[in-house]
Structure 1
């Protein structure tokens, strides 16, 4: 299990501060959902926590060790046991969708090959709902299908920790429901997840902790049941925005409406 901590982390883009003095610990074995208005810095914070971006200042730690001081073997072990689901899928255009999904297995599990590798890849593609031909290129499938392949690539090796950026964006209702059920299954199996999302259904179904972000700063963080009752004006505004297009509510969503 991995504990990810950010100590005084800042991120500049030119003269603009995207992330400002963030201190936070993401506990293992739980699901944290990052919420905030568009442009608040959710995706940048997620990539910093995953070690995909280097902070301008501050330190990102994996189990108390600075991420960028990890030895090669330690970083390889972290990559082997974690996955990242990108908002735009980020598939390799010059590879088939099968090859995209197979990539983590080939890199981190070289002993898996042939029929075993093929079986794992095709099983995972079916699990996320991809029904098209595995030899197609990303340019030959829809944006929603690309997203499904991106999810399959991240979970094919059964990582212990998932970083997930807007997993339901650009998905139809059937695909969205399938992804939610898949993420729920992973949570039950004990997979730690850090998710950037604006989906009320995802928050209600998965969130153990909420992290409210505004203009690159953490406004509020804590257990779902505590933060959803917050009177902080930014938190209330973010939660109201998340709920804006919801037409039917379960009990947790109705609770979110309290004091908003």
Structure 2
């Protein structure tokens, strides 16, 4: 993430409603969370710390309750304060630091560049506009899913945005994004890699993964676990690559027939991929036997 975007991200993320994932007996109160966030910010103000070192500093600043082993993890339990790790990151006082040998450390991003979180309304508005410019047109439900919040939280930010009808759905787009208003069906053939943003972030799923594509090209509904064959912007199969010596072997399992024009476009995609990897292309049309990426 660019440093100049930290004010926007911290302003937006820290404004989202926090839903506690821990049961009531061990869930931290709002006051305890505030204490932990302040303690983390102070503890990391000058040094990178491992989680054990940070635990000592948080407990010293807040109290013994923060050390209580209450969060089930692996074969034991983590200290209670660690419920607030993601909240502290959203608030802009915690990020990953450099490895210390094989140990992970945490740092305070303010040491890289001092900043103030952007006001919540301004930050969420800016983030929404950027999202729509990248992934739009889209709906409040889709933006909420991407941001891991509720549609009710983000819906007011759509009120003044331009909208258009797409496949019998009302969708919104970013102000000034004239191309989004002039929607034209995509044409061509593309090979997308694992976890490409287009496949993972685009909705509605039934439009992007029609018919057999949903079952074949997702892992129990999770997109990204298979490389995708796109035909005219729609998922039409999966593919796999394997480099052997100086040859790149590409297998494409198409779920729709490829006419001569589309086959030529697919050949060009494979040639391009092989050129990037410095290999000679070899294309096979047939079943992909490799399973989903974990």
Provide TM-score, normalisation by structure 1: 0.27
Q: Which structure exhibits the higher relative contact order, with contacts defined as CA atoms closer than 8 Å and separated by 6 or more residues?
A: 1
Q: Which has the larger radius of gyration?
A: 2
Query: More strand per residue: 1 or 2?
Result: 1
